[in-house]
Structure 1
Amino acid sequence: MTYLDALQTTLAGEHAALFVVGYLGAQTSQSRSPQLYATLRESYDGHRDRRDRLEDLVREAGGEPVAAGASYELPQVRSEDPTTIAAAGLAVERACGATYGFLVANATGHGRRWAVAAVVDSGLREIDLGGRPRTFPGR
């Protein structure tokens, strides 16, 4: 697998994460669950920034960024139920951590440092969503 392939795979994962996290945010009550809402908002902003950076990296590597899908599978959550929404958000962050771990294995230099920072960010957000600290986030 090439670095460009790993970037494209990670970009595809970010497209899916944005779709799902946006949906989860829309299911969350800002007034009833302000902390969860803030965490999902932060998650959305972070994934959007990483998606944009990945598109730049793909172009720098000589590729055309993979497009977002028209739709993605959504988790089954009960509207405004913080427990199921947080669990679904936790699953998104774990999946992203694993995907970025794959990018770490296929990158070097600055690209690897950036991917490691993304793994750490996803790991921290896992904790915000009720996950437990793990030795190797994304694994």
Structure 2
Amino acid sequence: MTYLDALQTTLAAEHAALFVGGYLGAQTSASADPTLYEALRTSYDVHRARRDELTRFVLAGGAEPVAAAASYDLPGVVTGDSAAIRGEALRVERACGTTYGYLVASTPGEQRSWAVGALLDSARRELALGGSPRPSPGR
């Protein structure tokens, strides 16, 4: 996978994370579960910033950024079911983390620190959502 391909794949993952994350955020309540609500709000803000950064990187690479899909498969969670919402948010974050791992592996040295930072940030969000540490790739 080339660096530009990895950027496009990661950008596509961020588009999906924003779509699903927005849906999940709408299924929770700041008063009923303030911790989950804040985690989802913060996650949404971070994913939006990452999407914008990845778009700039793709443009700087001379390519047209991959567009978001018109829609994505949404999980069947019930409004207020904090456990299901948290589980789906964790699944989305793990998918993004995996994609960032591929980006790190495909990124030239001078740009790698941004990709590593994004991967570590994704791992921290996984932990905040109840995930457990996973071994590093290659272990």
TM-score range, shorter chain: over 0.9
Name the counterpart of 1:30: 30
Superposition map of 1:50-89 within 5 A: 50-89=50-89
| Matched position secondary structure for 2:92 | helix
Match of 1:43 in 2: 43
Superposition deviation, residue 133 in structure 1: 2.0
In the other structure, the counterpart of 1:97 is 97
Gapped runs of 5+ residues in structure 2? none
Q: 1:29 to 1:106 in 2, by over 3 A?
A: same
How many residues are aligned here?
Answer: 138
Residue 133 of structure 2 is aligned to residue 136 of structure 1: no
Aligned AA (1:92): V
Return the alpha-carbon distance in structure 1 between the equivalents of residues 114 and 56 of structure 2.
13
The percent identity for this pair of structures is 63
Q: Which has the bigger relative contact order, CA under 8 A and spacing at least 6?
A: 2
**Distance in 1, Cα, partners of 2:105 & 2:74:** 28
Q: Which residue number corresponds to residue 9 of structure 1?
A: 9
1:49 maps to amino acid: A
SS at 1:30 equivalent: coil
Could you list the per-position Cα deviations for residues 73-124 of structure 1 after superposition, in whole angstroms to 9, with x for gaps in the alignment?
1112121111000000000010000000000110022421111111111111
TM-score by length of 1: 0.95
1:11-60 C-alpha deviation (Å, 9 max, x unpaired) = 00000000000100000011000000000000000000000000000011
Q: Which runs of 5+ in 1 are unaligned?
A: none
